[in-house]
Amino acid sequence: MDEVIQVTQWLSSITPRKKAKLFFFTTHADAPSPMVGSNDVDTHEETQLPLATTVALHNFKNIDEFLKKKVNTFSCYNVIENEITKTDYEYLRFYSACKYLDVVPPFLDLEKISAIQNKFEMTDEEQDYRLLLDSADLVLEKVCDSLKPAGVSQMWTALRKDRNLIRGVKTIDIIGFFVDPNPTGIKECLFFFIVRFLQKADKINRVNTNRLERLIAQCDESSSCEEGKTIDFIIDSLRFYPTELYPFGFCLIMCVIEGRDGAMQEIEKTMEISRHLGMITHTEKNPTKETIELVKKELMKPKYQFYSSFTCWFMSHGDSNSMVLADGETIEREWFLTSFPDISTFQLKPKVFFMVSCRGANKFSLKGDEFEGQSATCDYYDIGSALIRNRMLDITDSVRDISYVQPMMDTLVAYSTILDHLSGRANTHGSIYVDRACVLMSENISRGRSLTEILEHLSQDLHEILQETMDEDRIVYKQACHYDSFFRKTLKLPYTRHPKEDVHSAPQ
């Protein structure tokens, strides 16, 4: 069959709503640039003009032309063996979006997909199409689905009132002030236009969504929300780190085995909980400084930009400032913690570090006969009120910026003990902190708990446990853990996900 006919038939089989979503996912806002094979075409116009004309004319002709152009580009594309090009990214995004929406063209060359994935050095686990979807876009899709056409129309009206933001933007004028978003697919096009416009204007990104939240907050709840949804519910969904679908993220486990009883148990527990959470996991036993440098270099490879989060477990002996490596050398804990968050592939994504080692020799000792022989080793205020807000500073958009970010932002560091104190362990099971952390995380999957909630529970749980030193003094003591957070959103634990199990049901 002629390719032109095939493409036409494929497009005619896709609903307007799915066309709008396919366009949105394909024109991903954070696509790397510049790349090999990229040009100077104004991507602002390329991604927004088809949406604007579709909304203004109630006609999907320009989106159809855009999708045809993509298909034709991929059809003629020859995969270059060594260089990763902009087209490689676009091809993977397009394929994953089609797969997610259940509209994969029957004529799409899957061998090219495989060749591109091989260029990215993706493992079998990483070749799951869900890894290639952008979690932030999936969250925005759900926000759109939660709003009625009237709600998106009200957002548009609120946006149009911001003269400083929209001045001189041609695509804004194409749509006009009054919009009828009721025809099928037009609501989606208008919402996605608003999102991409705010992203291109550097007003929102995958972490900073305040500007979008303020537009939604101006909607009338009775007319703007789909059944069962509220304005608060929709806004709250934007206040979590986007970690939709499988995998939840990439997990690096580093564990010094030499001289640490129970270390293999630590590895087994952290691997089990990481996989249970839906992470793709890599383990380094007996790491050295050279190992750490090689891992950092590995994490800078392009494929890691597809991950939604990064978690690292580092388990070793240590003191107040440093950690002992497998070869007896030490590294500064601060150096380790500040070198990983700056890796570009995980910028604007949550990064969690579990630092499991002693930070000194002090103990919170318990004295008294009752402790001998006991040991685990053997009102909400509404700040939105007008009265309070009238007393607050008026922070305008002109003094806000989301372009420059401190490297440690979006990072959380969890310590197994407080400064200058021991971190307890059992002879056969390894770190008690690791054991309790894994137990609590596994118990709270599917309960909608955030990571910080679980860490607070862990702090309570661990501090109840009586431990005993393994020297001749046999001192009974308690251990206190804590965490330092630079998070700007809440990180929720995912529901159980199994890599080989396709849990997706296609959106409408």
Q: Could you give the CA distance from residue 353 to residue 147 in angstroms, rounded to a whole number?
A: 37
Segment 244-255 shows an average pLDDT of 90
Are 418 and 484 in contact, with CB atoms under 8 Å apart? no
Q: How confident is the model at residue 38 (pLDDT cuts 50, 70, 90)?
A: very low
Convert the pLDDT of each residue in 54-83 to its tens digit. 999 999 999 999 999 999 999 889 988 778
Name which residue leads in pLDDT, 195 or 396: 195
- CB burial string 142-164: b at 16+ within 10 A, e below: ebbbbbbbbbbbbbbebbbeeee
Q: How many CB atoms sit inside 10 A of residue 259's CB?
A: 11
Name which residue leads in pLDDT, 206 or 405: 206
**347/219 same-domain check:** no
Which of 363-367, 409-413, 425-429, 504-508 is predicted with the least confidence, judged by mean pLDDT?
504-508
Q: Could you give the CA distance from residue 232 to residue 234 in angstroms, rounded to a whole number?
A: 5
Percent of the chain with pLDDT over 70: 87
Q: Could you give the CA distance from residue 348 to residue 202 in angstroms, rounded to a whole number?
A: 14
20 within domain boundaries: yes
Please give the C-alpha separations between residue 143 and each of 140, 231, 238, 261, 263, in angstroms, as whole numbers: 5, 10, 8, 49, 44
68 within domain boundaries: yes
* Confidence at residue 30, expressed as pLDDT on a 0 to 100 scale: 52
Which of 237-251, 317-331, 468-482 is predicted with the least confidence, judged by mean pLDDT?
468-482
How far is residue 468 CA from its own chain's centroid?
40
Segment 164-181 shows an average pLDDT of 89
Q: What is the pTM of this model?
A: 0.85
* Beta bridge pairs of residue 411: 351
Convert the pLDDT of each residue in 279-315 to its tens digit. 999 999 999 999 999 999 999 999 999 999 999 999 9
Asked whether residue 108 carries a pLDDT value surpassing 70, the answer given is yes
Convert the pLDDT of each residue in 91-103 to its tens digit. 999 999 999 999 9
Task: Record the tokens describing residue 163, joined without a space.
Answer: 């003269």
CATH number at 291 reads 3.40.50.1460
* Confidence at residue 383, expressed as pLDDT on a 0 to 100 scale: 37
Asked whether residue 497 carries a pLDDT value surpassing 90, the answer given is no
* Confidence at residue 326, expressed as pLDDT on a 0 to 100 scale: 93
* Confidence at residue 495, expressed as pLDDT on a 0 to 100 scale: 64
478 within domain boundaries: yes
Sort 235 into a burial class: Cβ within 10 Å, 0-12 / 13-18 / 19+.
middle
383 within domain boundaries: no
Q: How many CB atoms sit inside 10 A of residue 342's CB?
A: 13
| Angle (nearest 5°) at CA 356 between 333 and 463 | 125
Q: Could you give the CA distance from residue 363 to residue 423 in angstroms, rounded to a whole number?
A: 9
**331/187 same-domain check:** no
Strand intervals (E) in 197-340: 249-255, 279-285, 310-315, 322-324, 330-332
Segment 214-225 shows an average pLDDT of 93
* Terminal CA-CA length for the chain: 28
**306/189 same-domain check:** no
Asked whether residue 31 carries a pLDDT value surpassing 70, the answer given is no
Q: 239, 268, 301 — which closes off a domain?
A: 239
**255/183 same-domain check:** no
Q: How many CB atoms sit inside 10 A of residue 230's CB?
A: 12
**225/294 same-domain check:** no
Strands 279-285 and 430-431: unpaired
**278/222 same-domain check:** no
**114/234 same-domain check:** yes
Q: How confident is the model at residue 504 (pLDDT cuts 50, 70, 90)?
A: very low
Helices (H), 14-58: 16-26, 43-57
- Residue 240 sits at φ, ψ, to 5 deg, of -110, 150
* Confidence at residue 410, expressed as pLDDT on a 0 to 100 scale: 93
N residues, the chain = 508
**58/195 same-domain check:** yes
Work out how many domains the chain is built from and give that number: 2
* Confidence at residue 382, expressed as pLDDT on a 0 to 100 scale: 38
**225/319 same-domain check:** no
**274/125 same-domain check:** no
413 within domain boundaries: yes
* Confidence at residue 381, expressed as pLDDT on a 0 to 100 scale: 33
**65/145 same-domain check:** yes
| Angle (nearest 5°) at CA 67 between 499 and 91 | 40
Please confirm whether the linkage preceding 247 is cis (ω < 30° from 0).
yes
Q: Is the dihedral of CA 443, 444, 446, 451 positive or negative?
A: negative
**225/277 same-domain check:** no
Q: Could you give the CA distance from residue 155 to residue 215 in angstroms, rounded to a whole number?
A: 5
Which of 100-104, 389-393, 460-464, 477-481 is predicted with the least confidence, judged by mean pLDDT?
389-393
Q: Could you give the CA distance from residue 401 to residue 203 in angstroms, rounded to a whole number?
A: 8
315 within domain boundaries: yes
* Confidence at residue 368, expressed as pLDDT on a 0 to 100 scale: 60
379 within domain boundaries: no
Domain region containing 182: 1-28+44-239
* Confidence at residue 251, expressed as pLDDT on a 0 to 100 scale: 96
328 within domain boundaries: yes
Helices (H), 353-463: 386-389, 432-444, 451-463
Convert the pLDDT of each residue in 360-412 to its tens digit. 888 766 666 555 555 545 433 333 444 444 555 567 777 788 888 888 899 99
